[in-house]
């Protein structure tokens, strides 16, 4: 043991000594005038990087715009001198924030005309021509009566690699922050989709703006980022230029969608009215008019009743086919659902569900009969009673 420890300590000492000797030799071999050359080279490299950054910004800025929709904003960039502009589909038609918005999702509810703001402050109207098909998060706008707009060049598809410097330009957070320029590196490229992951800082509002290479060419469209609140984690994503090129070609052929394809709206579920009299209700979970899908992918059937403040209700769900989950909602004046209570196990070792609770207010309530696991299907028995 002692010999082993000595050997390890010796090795460490030798490495340290060699390091010292090596450093000494380097200092001796480099005369003063060479040191000045080294420092000059470092300064030159920094100056060159700064020059590239300035050139990219100066080239791209006149062609990058803020897209204002009336309810929010995003970014975009000009790809033709006669006024074609690329942005994200979700800039024009935002994604639903919750299940209720998904149920009420209207494909045709989006602005047909938006306001485009250039970096110099000039504002013009642009028509929404259409959206990418098959869930592609791209939209195309058109400014009319234009001939000589500044444009961005598209890079050669696939001509990017991990580690390359990239630049983002757009309008993060607030419309007053238009023309914000950040930079970073490509950190990953998805081998299947080609989606570019990078660490150039982007925030909400950067969506639809370009991701640029050191030549000022578009290599992607900034679309999403991972963060907590407004803090950026450095994991940001861009749609690759190959898909952008295909979308522009489809636009010229008028082979694009007239509505966003990011979300397929669900059919508004049928709600069954029940009485709190203990009547046995036979139900079945699965795809159909009576069901919608929760965030975790499980089906839900809805049952509605009129309740009173302070009324105690007992709701039971029993099944041999699925692992039952009960959710009691209160329906607010604006139609939104508020969770009052939830249960997935009636007791130790009993995987059936039961809710026993007092209602907080007079009004309409809904019982959601669901399952613990996603896409479980099967029959169940539901019973609801009330105590005076």
Name the phi and psi angles at 216, rounded to 5: 80, 20
Q: What confidence tens digit (pLDDT) does each residue in 88-106 have?
A: 999 999 998 876 677 778 8
Question: Rounded to the nearest 5°, which phi and psi values hold at 77?
Answer: -150, 150
Domain borders along the chain are 62-252, 271-387
What is residue 356's predicted lDDT score, i.e. its pLDDT?
95
Q: What is the pLDDT of residue 19?
A: 34
The pLDDT mean for the chain works out to 85
165-170 and 231-240 beta bridge pairing: unpaired
> What's the burial of 6, exposed, middle or buried (CB within 10 Å: 0-12/13-18/19+)?
exposed
pLDDT recorded at residue 49: 84
How many Å is the Cα radius of gyration of the chain? Answer: 30
Check residue 74 and give its pLDDT. 96
Please report which confidence band the pLDDT of residue 43 belongs to, taking 50, 70 and 90 as the band edges.
low
* Cα–Cα nearest to 91, from 17, 12, 22, 170: 170
* Rounded-to-integer distance, Cα 135 and Cα 138, Å: 9
Higher-pLDDT residue of 123, 231 = 123
Residue 270: per-residue pLDDT:
78
Beta carbons of 314 and 356 less than 8 angstroms apart: yes
CA 129, CA 259: separation in Å to the nearest integer?
9
Predicted local confidence at residue 292, as pLDDT: 66
For 43, the enclosing helix (H) or strand (E) is helix 32-60
Which residue from 208, 174, 215, 178 is spatially nearest to 72, judged by alpha carbons? Answer: 174
Residue 387 pLDDT level (bands cut at 50, 70, 90)? confident
Percent of the chain clearing pLDDT 90 (strictly above): 64
Higher pLDDT, 249 or 22: 249
Q: What is the mean pLDDT of residues 137-161?
A: 94
CATH 2.60.120.380 fits 271-387, yes or no: yes
The stretch 113-135 carries a mean pLDDT of 96
Contacting residues for 62 by C-beta, under 8 A, at least 6 apart:
118, 119, 120, 150
- 210-247 b/e with 16+ CB inside 10 Å = b? bbbbeebbbbbbbbbbebeeeebeeebbbbbbbbbbeb
Which residue has better confidence, 19 or 110?
A: 110
For position 319, what pLDDT does the model report?
A: 94
The yes-or-no verdict on residue 220 having pLDDT over 80 is yes
- pLDDT band of residue 4 (cuts 50, 70, 90) is very low
Q: Which of 43-47, 220-224, 248-252, 257-261 has the lowest mean pLDDT?
A: 43-47
- CA separation for the pair 363, 331 (Å, rounded): 7
Residue 7's pLDDT is what?
Answer: 33
Average pLDDT over residues 212-229: 89
Q: Give the model confidence (pLDDT) of 348-372 as tens digits.
A: 889 999 999 999 999 999 999 999 8
pLDDT digits (tens, 9 = 90+) for 29-39: 333 444 455 55
Q: Could you give the residue numbers annotated as active site?
A: 90, 137, 207
Q: Is 169 exposed, middle or buried (0-12, 13-18, 19+ CB in 10 A)?
A: buried
Residue 33 is predicted with a pLDDT of 43
d(CA 168, CA 188): 16
**What pLDDT does residue 13 have?**
31
Cα dist from 261 to 89, 133, 246, whole Å: 8, 6, 16
* pLDDT tens figures, 174-199: 999 999 999 999 999 999 899 999 99
Bigger pLDDT: 266 or 331?
331
Q: Does position 21 have pLDDT exceeding 80, yes or no?
A: no
Residue 1: predicted pLDDT: 40
pLDDT of 282-341, one tens digit each? Answer: 999 887 655 666 667 788 899 999 999 999 999 999 999 999 999 999 998 877 889 999
Assign domain 62-252 to its CATH architecture: Beta Barrel (2.40)
Counting residues of the chain whose pLDDT is more than 70, the rounded percentage is 82
């Amino acid at each position: 043991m002692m010999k082993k420890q000595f050997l390890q300590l010796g090795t460490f000492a030798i490495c340290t000594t060699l390091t010292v000797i090596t450093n000494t030799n380097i200092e001796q071999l480099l005369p003063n005038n060479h040191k000045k050359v080294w420092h000059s080279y470092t300064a030159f490299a920094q100056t060159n990087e700064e020059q590239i950054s300035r050139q990219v910004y100066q080239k791209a800025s006149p062609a990058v715009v803020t897209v204002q929709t009336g309810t929010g904003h995003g970014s975009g960039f000009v790809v033709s001198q006669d006024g074609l502009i690329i942005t994200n589909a979700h800039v024009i038609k935002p994604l639903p924030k919750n299940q209720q918005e998904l149920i009420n999702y209207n494909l045709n509810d989006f602005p047909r005309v938006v306001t485009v703001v250039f970096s110099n402050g000039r504002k013009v109207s642009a028509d929404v021509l259409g959206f990418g098909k098959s869930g592609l998060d791209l939209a195309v706008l058109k400014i009319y009566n234009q001939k000589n707009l500044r444009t961005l060049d598209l890079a050669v598809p696939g001509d990017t690699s991990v580690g390359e410097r990239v630049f983002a330009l757009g309008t993060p957070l607030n419309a007053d922050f238009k023309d914000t320029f950040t930079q970073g590196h490509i950190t990953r490229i998805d081998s299947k989709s080609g989606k570019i992951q990078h660490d150039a800082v982007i925030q909400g509002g950067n969506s639809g703006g370009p991701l640029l290479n050191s030549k000022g060419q578009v290599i992607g469209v900034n679309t999403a980022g991972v963060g907590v609140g407004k803090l950026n984690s450095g994991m940001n994503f861009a749609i690759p230029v190959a898909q952008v090129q295909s979308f522009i070609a489809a636009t010229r052929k008028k082979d694009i969608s007239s509505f966003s394809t990011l979300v397929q709206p669900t059919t508004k579920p049928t709600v069954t009215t029940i009485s709190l009299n203990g009547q046995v209700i036979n139900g079945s979970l699965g795809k159909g008019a009576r069901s919608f899908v929760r965030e975790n992918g499980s089906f839900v059937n809805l049952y509605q009743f009129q309740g009173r403040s302070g009324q105690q209700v007992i709701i039971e769900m029993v099944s041999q086919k699925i692992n039952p989950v009960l959710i009691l909602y209160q329906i607010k004046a604006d139609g939104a659902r508020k969770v009052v209570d939830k249960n997935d196990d009636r007791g130790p070792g009993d995987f059936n569900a039961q809710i026993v609770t007092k209602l907080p207010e007079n009004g309409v309530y809904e019982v959601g009969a669901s399952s613990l696991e996603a896409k479980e299907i099967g029959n169940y028995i539901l019973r609801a009673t009330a105590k005076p």
